[in-house]
Amino acid sequence: MSIDLPLTEQERERRLRRMKRVPLVLLMLMVILFALTLRQPAPWAAWVHAFAEAGMVGALADWFAVVALFRHPLGIPIPHTAIIPVRKNELGEAMAGFIADHFLETEVVREKLTRVDLSGVTIEWLRSKRGRLSVQDFACGMLSWSLEALHEQRVREFLSRLSRRQLKNVSLAPLVGHTLDWLIKDDRHQNILTQLLQYAIVVLHDNQEQIRERVKEGSPWWLPGFVDDRILKQMLERVEGQLFQMSLDREHPLRGQFNDWLENLAGNLRTSPEHRRMGHRLKQQLLENEALQDYLYGIWQELAQRLETDLDQPDSAVRAQVGQWVDGLADELGRDEAMQAWINGWLTETMVLLVDRNRTQIASLISDTVRSWDGRDTSRRVELAIGRDLQFIRINGTLVGGLVGVLIHAVTLV
């Protein structure tokens, strides 16, 4: 199946010139017939003469009407001619209003979008080679652009000033207090404590030999080694047992003490003036610590350099990771029909809302663009778009005019 490619401007101009020759040839034919039958006494000549006479009138009238749309006929500034270049701004505004009222109307847009499986189209696009490469190129391009921008001194200085200004407005102690409140809610802090206790048990068990060596180094020379081992073994067993009990028993007394301590700390951070002052001092120390800032910036530079080096490689690990993420996203969405339905509904309502709120601005692109065009350029663009169809008006005018002339001649003979 062949695909019709859009015509270039030069091709449209050539086709329009060729099409204009057809009504011109018809007009010349009418003139020749009119001249040949002007004084012919034969009965048939009167019929042909009437046809040619009316055909000339129809051809010239329709030529005038078509030309008057785009320019002044014969260069004469007749009123109500050159309509498109003279009234292009009004025509652009009328077209924009028509599109806003009829094509971008809320229910029209919603009905059109509901007939399209937006999530299905997205999934197929992500699965295609073109879609996958497009997402990879966009993600890696944005990352490269961001890294390049952060190398600019003025960008770094701007972000530094912005971050300092924002941090100065942040009260550190209440922020930490509210964070702890969020952790305490629904026993999130107890879940974290359980994970920490389990990790501590594993670390303690795996490092018993190192602990034993350290104890031996600090023990008196006169204390026998087997005594150290026995004391240490009992101590480690009791510590591990205590940690194990705490990790399993949510009602353990030490867990209750931890909960009370954390609640008191959160309350003090939120309300205590002393804790607010401590937080403010800590924040000022962080902001004024140039060594810390240089260290963090050095870490960032090293990370940025590694990312830039990777992105420049044909087998970029970041690009490959983005591709794997795209594949995983497409596969997961393809299996989840409920998520597809939600995406379709969300995209439809989001696009409807955006179009409804901005349809005037969207339609104004037409009027603003037309207003920025030169009058002659506007006329030429429109003529290239519809000029060939308008030549059929001239052709029809010639032929229909000729037939009307024949009809009038027949009436005069009755």
Task: Pick the last residue of a domain from 276, 291, 313.
Answer: 276
Identify the pLDDT of residue 3.
45
Q: Is residue 339 part of a domain?
A: no
Q: Is residue 248 part of a domain?
A: yes
Structure tokens at 291: 């060594």
Whether 323 contacts 132, CB under 8 Å = yes
Task: Pick the last residue of a domain from 276, 305, 323.
Answer: 276
User: Can you give the residue range of the structural domain that contains 197?
Assistant: 175-276
Identify the pLDDT of residue 29.
94
Domains contained in the chain, number:
2
Q: pLDDT digit of tens for each residue in the chain (414 aa)? A: 344 556 777 888 888 889 999 999 999 999 999 999 988 888 889 999 999 999 999 999 999 998 888 888 888 888 888 888 888 888 888 888 888 887 888 888 888 888 888 888 889 999 999 998 999 999 999 988 888 887 788 887 887 788 777 777 778 788 888 888 888 887 888 888 888 888 888 888 788 777 766 666 655 555 555 555 676 677 778 888 888 888 888 888 888 888 889 889 888 888 888 888 888 888 777 777 777 777 777 887 888 888 888 888 888 898 999 999 999 989 998 888 899 899 888 988 888 888 888 888 878 888 888 788 788 888 888 888 888 888 999 999 999 999 999 999 899 887
Q: Is residue 291 part of a domain?
A: no
Q: Is residue 64 part of a domain?
A: yes
Q: Is residue 35 part of a domain?
A: yes
Task: Pick the last residue of a domain from 254, 276, 298.
Answer: 276
Identify the pLDDT of residue 218.
59
Q: At what angle do helices 375-413 and 43-70 cross, to 10 degrees?
A: 160
Q: Is residue 267 part of a domain?
A: yes
Q: What is the 3-state secondary structure (H, E, C) of the chain?
A: CCCCCCCCHHHHHHHHHHHHHHHHHHHHHHHHHHHHCCCCCCHHHHHHHHHHHHHHHHHHHHHHHHHHHHCCHHHCCCCCCCHHHHCHHHHHHHHHHHHHHHHCCHHHHHHHHHCCCHHHHHHHHHHCHHHHHHHHHHHHHHHHHHHHHHCCHHHHHHHHHHHHHHHHCCCHHHHHHHHHHHHHHHHHHHHHHHHHHHHHHHHHHHCHHHHHHHHHHHCCCCCCHHHHHHHHHHHHHHHHHHHHHHHHCCCCHHHHHHHHHHHHHHHHHHHCHHHHHHHHHHHHHHHHCHHHHHHHHHHHHHHHHHHHHHHCCCCCHHHHHHHHHHHHHHHHHHHCHHHHHHHHHHHHHHHHHHHHHHHHHHHHHHHHHHHHCCHHHHHHHHHHHHHHHHHHHHHHHHHHHHHHHHHHHHHHHC
Q: Is residue 363 part of a domain?
A: no
Q: Is residue 296 part of a domain?
A: no
